[in-house]
A and B are shown apart, each in its own frame.
Chain A
Amino acid sequence: MYTSEEMLQSIKKVEANRAANAAYEPDRMTAEQKEEILATYHPDHIESEFEELKIGPNKGEKVPHELAALLQANSRIDPAKIDLENPKYDVDVLVIGGGGAGSSAAIEAHNGGANVMIVTKLRIGDANTMMAEGGIQAADKPNDSPAIHYIDAYGGGHFAAKHELVEKLVCEAPDAIKWLNELGVEFDKMPDGTMVTTHGGGTSRKRMHACKDYSGAEIMRTLRDEVLNRQIPVVDFTAAIEIILDDGGKAAGAVLMNMETHELMVARAKTVVIATGGAGRLHYQGFPTSNHYGATADGLVLAYRAGAKLLYADSLQYHPTGAAFPEQIFGALVTEKVRSLGAKLVNCEGEVFMHPLETRDVCASSIIRECKARGKGISTGDGLGVWLDTPMIELKNGEGTIEKRIPAMLRMFMEYGIDIRKEPILVYPTLHYQNGGIDITSDGMSGIENLYVAGEAVGGIHGRNRLMGNSLLDVIVFGRNAGRSVAAKFGSVTVGKLTLDHVNKFAEEMKGAGIETDKVSPQLLPDYARKA
Chain B
Amino acid sequence: MENNVNIYLFGKLYSVPSSLTIMKAMEYAGYQLVRGCGCRNGFCGACATIYRIAGDPELKTCLACQTQVQENMYIATLPFFPLVKQIYDINTVSTTQAVMMQLYPEIYSCVGCNACTKACTQKLNVMQYIAFAQRGEFDKCADESFDCVMCGVCSSRCPAGISHPQVAMLARRINGKYLQPKTEHLENRVKEIHNGDFKEFLDTLMAESNDQLKERYNNRDIEK
Contacts and interface: CB of A to CB of B under 8 A. Distances in A.
B87 A178 contact: no
A189 B181 contact: yes
Interface stretch (B1-9, B128-136, B141-149): B141-149
A138 B35 CA distance: 36
B198 A146 contact: yes
Given A147-B198, A217-B43, A525-B34, A181 B186 contact: yes
11 contacts: A28-B222, A123-B46, A155-B217, A155-B218, A178-B190, A183-B176, A194-B185, A204-B222, A222-B173, A222-B176, A532-B30
Given A151-B205, A237-B34, A193 B173 contact: no
Contacts of B213: 151, 154-155, 159
A229 B210 contact: no
Interface in B115-171: 122, 142, 146-147, 149-150, 169
A78 to B, nearest CB: 23
Contacts of A141: 185
A189 B180 CA distance: 8
Interface residues of B, number: 69
A532 B32 CA distance: 13
Interface of B: 19-21, 24, 27-35, 37-44, 46, 66-68, 85, 87-90, 122, 142, 146-147, 149-150, 169, 172-177, 180-187, 189-190, 193, 198, 201-202, 205-206, 210, 213-214, 216-218, 220-223
Given A147-B198, A214-B43, A123 B38 contact: yes
Interface of A: 28, 31, 122-123, 125-126, 130-131, 138-143, 145-148, 150-152, 154-155, 159, 163-164, 167, 170-171, 174-175, 177-178, 181-187, 189-195, 199, 204-206, 212, 214, 216-218, 221-222, 225-226, 228-229, 231, 237, 259-260, 290, 292-293, 327-329, 332-333, 407-408, 411-412, 415, 525, 527-532
Contacts of A530: 27-30
Given A140-B189, A214-B147, A229-B87, A184 B46 contact: no
A59 B210 CA distance: 27
Contacts of A290: 41
B99 to A, nearest CB: 13
A411 to B, nearest CB: 7
Contacts of A142: 185
Nearest to B88: A229
Given A171-B198, A237-B34, 4 more contacts: A140-B183, A199-B223, A292-B39, A411-B122
